[in-house]
Structures are given as C-alpha cells and as structure tokens.
Structure 1
C-alpha cells in the first residue's frame, strides 16, 4: 500500500496494483480499475516514485524471506516448481514429509 493525501489533507492508503491511470490536469487524479477516482495533493511524479519504492520493497522483502525459509525433511519450503508435463502420475504421496504433489492426469 502507498499513502497519499486528499485535498482536505487527510491521508489514506491505496493498493497501487489497482491504479489504472494517473492524470495530472491540474490536480493529480488516480483512476482505479473499478472506476473510482481520487484527487490527491501529490504530483504524478511523486505517486510514480511511491509505487516504484513500494514494488522495490516487496521484491526486497521477498528476497529476504527466501533467504530465511525453513526446510521440511531436508527440502526448503518455497515456490512450487512447474509441473512436469511428461509425467503420467496424477499424485505422488510423500508420507515422510506429508506432501502431496499433483501432476497431469493419465490419459
């Protein structure tokens, strides 16, 4: 979330992923994907910088978290790897680790 300021000087946080457009004519207006519009005091450049910093922070936190991910049964927890499309197995049960992997259906 980024924090922006309304014309009455009240601040609010908004999800930058839901901003569709930013207009600066003369007031900066955020147009959201659902059509809602917010007129704010920050300039377009300031909003773009806030969004860039927000996204950089998300990436940095993701990297930081991935460095300290715990492991289960000797395997690190993390992102799921892509399904092997050449496999003919529906599921693989790994009872030792309590993991069930789902693969493509048998034809």
Structure 2
C-alpha cells in the first residue's frame, strides 16, 4: 500500500498492485485496473518511487526480475 495526497491535500492509501498506468496531464493521473482514474497531488516520479519501494517490500520486484521482466 502507498500513501498519496488528493488534490485537496487529504491523504489516502492505495493498493499499488491495482495501478495500470500513471500519467502527468499536467496533474498526476493514476488509472487503476478497473478503469477508475484518480488525480493526485504527488508528482509522477514520486508515485513511481513509492510503487517501486512497495514492490520491493512485498517481494514483487524480485519476481519480475527472476522472470526476465526487468524494468527499463
């Protein structure tokens, strides 16, 4: 789980495994696997860092590397 900020500054927690894509439009927009879109105050780069740290914590990053799907 990662903690993010809504545009109004209110914090919320999101299950990072549900994220399909992240865009800066210019606000950071997160699209979930179910198609729902969330606009957050956090910069895209910070969200990616939070996701990567979460994946490493739960061991998901290691699974991708072992499967040969190392990130670019």
TM-score, normalized by the shorter chain, greater than 0.5:
yes
Larger C-alpha radius of gyration, 1 or 2?
1
**Where does residue 6 of structure 1 map in the other structure?**
6
Q: Let me know the Cα RMSD of the aligned residues.
A: 0.7
Structure having the larger proportion of residues in helix: 2
List gaps (5 residues or longer) in structure 2. 60-72
Structure 1 unaligned runs (5+)?
A: 60-107
Question: Aligned partners of 1:54 and 1:18: how far apart in 2?
Answer: 12
How many correspondences in the alignment? 59
Normalised to the residue count of structure 2, the TM-score between the two structures is 0.78
Structure 1 runs, 4 residues or longer, greater than 4 Å off: none
TM-score (norm 1): 0.53
Of structures 1 and 2, the one scoring higher in RCO (CA 8 A, sep 6+) is 2
